Structure formats: structure tokens, C-alpha cells
Amino acid sequence: MRKRPTLQFYNEPLPGVDTSELQGKLIVIEGPDAVGRSTQIALLRQWLEQEGHAVLDTGMARSALAGKGIKLAKQGNTLGPITMTLFYTTDFADRLENEIIPALRAGFVVLIDRYIFSIMARAIARGEDRRWIEQVAGFALVPHAVYYLRAEVQHLVSRVVLGRGAFDYWESGMDLRFGADMYESFVRYQARLIKALDSMVEPYGFTVIDAGQGIPQIFRDLQRQLGRLQLGRVRARKPATKKVRN
Amino acid sequence: MSVFEPNTYRGKLIVVEGIDGSGKSTQISLLSHWLRSQGYAVVFSEWNSSPLVKQTTRRGKRKEMFTPTTFSLLHATDFADRMESYIQPLVKSGAIVCADRYAYTAFARDVARGVSRSWVRNLYRFAMHPNLSFYFRVPLDVALGRILGGRDALKYYEAGMDLGLARDVEESFRIFQGRILDEYEAMAAEMGFEIIDATLSIEQQQRRMREIVMNELGESLKTSVLHLPLGMDFNAQTTDPPVL
């Protein structure tokens, strides 16, 4: 059997995790707000399951521990940038330890809608120290692939207007008031996020996907990229009676 | 490189540290009330008290959901909220902020839980460097005697039960507090703790604390020099310092 490369931690190994047990694949979709990540994840999940892979998908603020607390904190107007960064990191750690790692142990393909990179980009866009957050998030596993859905700000604006029809307070960085109104603030804040994500392409080995294309084209690009990962073919099992055990 | 951000503001930050049963909370409470009576603008901040975060912490504890990493991160989140929304603006305004437990608690406790020392130190790098950090030094047995004698049942995380150190709660607490004590002792010199002998009488400890604090504060911070908007009086309403 071909030996799979073992998953590793960026910086700081989590206590009690033996990475040699992690047999699954860790796939990350990154990108700014409203770029179309969740659409692609839904398509990928369907496709991968049809191919016979067990899939777990997870995303920000979905942890059992902190998801609810984050949503409540975002309803108020006192959530500071460092607090926000650490709350999301707590949420990520809870999902990593209690969902992602167990799924990898069981051989799942884990699809993650935003990893530590979005947390880092938001912190950097708010003027926090890059080295600080990189070290804080250093307990993350290095994914097998990070697909960065990249688009220009103007494209995101069109998607927001045509889709939801309104700008979101946090997606517009209104906690820091980047502009006179939600639109201006959205444009400046998202430009900063994109810049921060762009700066991670090389050090973190992102694969850039052009998200200015239509949904089917983006999906085809993702399928092509995922094909290179050799997720393992699902073959018909031999009849159980032939198995010899001693 | 410094552990924390320097305090470049007019106000002061005074913190107390020590294991459970060291008597630090009694001492900081006496000190803050006294400072207030002396005309200083004093506010108080307690570990684990952020209005944004504490419900999540309570939930995690009740359902025993924490790992060492999430325990550490959520407590840092609570601390960050108090730092950003409360401690920093108040110190900036010229107030004296008294904190019952500070980042050092995480340095001791999280490392005793198996979290990496360098990681947890970096985690709190945004914290403001205190002007005074009192460490209440007490032998383990004395502290345990105070705690185990007169209190309700020990709580799960407080006793370090998540670490599987012992099946008996008291035994686990003993081992866990011993580890925390070792961590405090190991950082005492590096962090510049003002060490108070917590086996002395309450009055003797308080006298020593007040001497050290007066040496640091001087007269210039009394409320008359706080730049408060007209008609707003820091001391007008209440006699107790506000608590967060």
C-alpha cells in the first residue's frame, strides 16, 4: 500500500493527538465574504459522496462550545477585534479537536469552509499583529489543500447586491468604520481582507481559483484540483469469505 | 521581547495572583476599598467575568466540554474582552484598575494542564503590563487547609479532574494545585512579582501591600485630577467599586 504523507501541525502540536492515525483528507476552501464558498462546498460534498467518500463539512461559528456565544456577541456592539479573533479561534479549536480530528481518524474527507486563514485575515485587516495571530493559530493542522476562491471587491459587491440585497454589519467591517456608510466600509474592509489573504498564498501554499467565473466553471476547476490529490479510489470489495485472518 | 504591552497611560494597573486559598481576593478587596476611601478612582476586574464570554465558559464547564486548548483559548477571550472594553479605557482615563487574577493565572494553570508554555505566553501578548503584580506565596498544605476546610464541593475543572490525575476529587485538586504552585514559583522572578508572605496575618499582609502601592501611586492620581466631563462625579453614587 502506498504510504500517505502524514498530516502535521503548523507550529504547536495539540496535546494527545497522534498524527499518524489521521487517515482522512483535509480540504479547505478559503475566500472573502460572499465569494460563493458555500455553494461550491455543497456541490463538492455531493460529488465526493457519489464517488464513495465519507464527507464531513464544517465552517466558522459552528462549534458546540462557542458557536452560540459568538452569534450572541455579534448582536451587540462591544465585540473588540482581539476578543473576536480569540472567540473564533476557540470555536475553531473546539471543532478541530472534537469534529475534524475524529473524522480524519475515521478516514473522512473533511471539507472546511474557512480555516484559520480567515481568522488571521480578519485580525490583520483590523490592524492586529500578524506574528501574534499566526502563533496563536499554530495548533492547526496543515491541510492537504487550500483552495482560495479569489475575486475582486467589485465582484463581491455585485454578489451581495444581487444575492442578499443588503450589506452585513460585520462583513462591512462596521465595527471599525472603514468608510462613511456600509457600502464604502464594505469595499475598504473587503479589499483589506483580500490583500491579507493574497499575502498568504505563497507562505501557506494556497491554490488560487478564479471566483469571477460562473458557478459551473469554478466547480470544474475545483474538481480538477481535487483529482490531483488522489483521494483514493473506491473499489468493489472482495467477498468477505475470502478474507483470511489468523 | 517583553511579555506584555507597556502601560503608557496615566492610570495604574494592580493585579493579585496566587493559588486558590492564598487569600489574594480578600487582600485586593481590602486594598481597593481603602484606595477609594483615600480619594482614588478605583475599579475592579475579576477573572472570568466578561459579559460577552462568561455564559459560554459556564456552559463549557457544566457540560465538561473543554480540552486544555479550548479552556485556555476561551479564558483568553474573556480576558481580551475585559482588556479591550474595560481595563484599557479605564487605565487610559487615569483610573486605578485592580484585577483579581491576571494573565499569570493562565500561564500557571494552562501550563499545569499541559498547554505549551511559549504558546500561552504569546496568546496574552496583547495584555497591558501591570504596574504592580502581587503574588501571595503560600505553602500548598496551608492553602489546601483553607479551601478544603470551609467550602462546598470542589468543581470539576478547578480540581483538574479533566486531566485524570486521580479518581478522588480532593487528591486531584491537591496534585493540580501543586503543579500550579510550581509554575507560579518558576515565573516569580522573571515576572517581577511583589511577593507577599500569605502565611502572615491578614492585617500584616494588607499593611505591606499598602506600603508598596503608595510608593507606586503617589498623590497625583487622586480623583481631583481626573479629566471627567463637567457634572460627572466618579465617586458620587456608590461606595463599592464597580465590578466587571
| B-chain residues near A73 (CB < 8 A) | 52-53
Q: What is the pLDDT of residue A241?
A: 52
Which domains, ranges and CATH numbers included, belong to chain B?
Answer: 12-220 (3.40.50.300)
ipTM of the complex: 0.91
Dihedral over alpha carbons B90, B96, B101, B103 (to 10 degrees):
60
Grouping H, G, I as helix, E, B as strand and the rest as coil, residue B43 is: strand
Q: Which residues contact B189 (CB under 8 A, 6 or more apart)?
A: none
Cell numbers standing for residue A168: 452585513
- Average pLDDT (B123-144) is 97
Q: Which of B52, B62, B72, B86 would best serve as a mutation to test chain A binding (most A beta carbons within 10 A)?
A: B52
| B-chain residues near A129 (CB < 8 A) | 125
Whole-angstrom distance, CA of residue B12 vs CA of residue B130: 7
For residue B196, the surrounding DSSP H or E stretch is strand B194-197
Which domains, ranges and CATH numbers included, belong to chain A?
Answer: 19-230 (3.40.50.300)
Residue B210 confidence (pLDDT) above 80: yes
Q: What is the pLDDT of residue B242?
A: 55
Sign of torsion over alpha carbons A185, A186, A191, A192: positive
CB proximity B130 to A under 8 Å: no
Q: Cell 491576571 maps to which residue? A: B102
Highest averaged pLDDT of the listed ranges A12-21, A197-206, B214-223: A197-206
| A-chain residues near B119 (CB < 8 A) | 11-12, 135-136, 138-139
Highest averaged pLDDT of the listed ranges A75-84, B194-203, B209-218: B194-203
- Average pLDDT (B59-72) is 97
Distance in Å, alpha carbon of A85 to nearest chain B alpha carbon: 8
What is the rounded average pLDDT for all residues in chain A?
92
Whole-angstrom distance, CA of residue A115 vs CA of residue A146: 9
Residue B94 confidence (pLDDT) above 50: yes
What 8-state DSSP symbol labels residue B128? B
Residue A34 confidence (pLDDT) above 50: yes
Whole-angstrom distance, CA of residue A31 vs CA of residue A117: 9
For residue A32, the cross-strand partners are none
